[in-house]
Structure 1
Amino acid sequence: MTSLFFKMRFLACSALVLLCACGDIVSSSETYSQRCSDNSNIEGYAADFGGYKKGKKIPFKHSDGYLFSLTVTERENSIDHICQKHLVTTLESAYPIYSILLASQAPTFYYSEEDKKNSGNVDVVFGQYTFSLMNPLAREKMQSFDSSYIDTMKINGIVYTGVAVSNGKKYKQPNNENYYNSTVESGAKLYYNTKKGILKIELEDGSYIAINEEDD
């Protein structure tokens, strides 16, 4: 009987530990349940990417030579019904008319502070192209010989470090009702780092837009 009592007590304690590892605990005399965080703000890489704040203007230059600015017109945090945090950022220019959508998501619960710092990708949509931007520092640590990590790159007279490149995909041409979710490989590339965000986008036709801080 004593042995059975200790076994039941051990199982009960183990269940409580597992619940505590997942997140906030709402306790009563009879039940334990997990709940979402009340804070919808994403932290770490996905939030810090680009230092994008609503109203910020970033100077860019087209490969044809004309200058323009991308403005952060939207920056919104939210949390969904399965405790997933979301951050949507929109960059737009008046002329030429460009719109770049950045969508990040991260879990509410983290395994460690390092996990929290590096968690979340930044997914970018630019016209028909889509890119997934992983934390360059995390990428370097996991795959030191990853050709997608460039480290140093000179763009319009300025040298940027901690640079990575994402190979883009593009949405298929409309041929059925689900084409919006279908992509194919493309030759487009997006160069980026954590501090400045998007540095350069190269399209398949050889044209590109690139950050232009030399005259800023």
Structure 2
Amino acid sequence: MLDTHPRIFVPDISKDISTLDLNIIAKQLNTLKPHKLINSSWPSFKTDTESSFYIAHLQDTLLLKFKVSETYFKASTRKINDDVHLDNGVECFISFFNDENYYNLEFNCLGSLKVGYGAGRFNRELLPEKILKSIKTYTTLQHDKTLNQFNWEILISVPIDVFMFSNLKTLKGLSAKANFYKCGDDLPKPDYLSWTFMDTLEPDFHQPNFFGDVFFS
């Protein structure tokens, strides 16, 4: 049965973190509850790919960690705001203060990124490279030859200044709308996984009507 009111309560782990070492933060996030990307909303793109994510905050920083296991691997080190969705990638779309505009944060498995803001797929403003350079990523990749499976993880650290159109002072106590995704448009067998189910005819992550609720403790 589908959860018609998906929600996440995001813990503040600032008291547990004494360093901004991403490797240490990644281990800390492993102690939290994982959220699975269980929805493959489009029958023609069924997949064996498995993915989950962890989410926390440091009051002034959003922390995301994705884990992915999949059969195909195709990725390139890309320039900022290039088409990272073509590669093995993960994404977070989020809006604050009931804003009809939302941010799309997109990353491939090598840490290349693209971030935009707007009200829909065709009304997006890409954020400047100067701002996006403050986003930090930490990635690991393993190939299980026995299972012919690629297992990769990415930790993403997003300072609140990246949400430049929202005038955020802190994440503490905020509520937001969001969705989380795994994609790979240009893989031999494309896959599209999401946190919430999206009732559309074709794959399209730019669907704020299907965002779930996110509460920052």
TM-score by length of 1: 0.31
User: RCO greater where, 1 or 2, for CA within 8 Å and sep 6 or more?
Assistant: 2
Where is the helix percentage greater, Structure 1 or Structure 2? Answer: 1
Higher alpha-carbon Rg: 1
TM-score by length of 2: 0.30
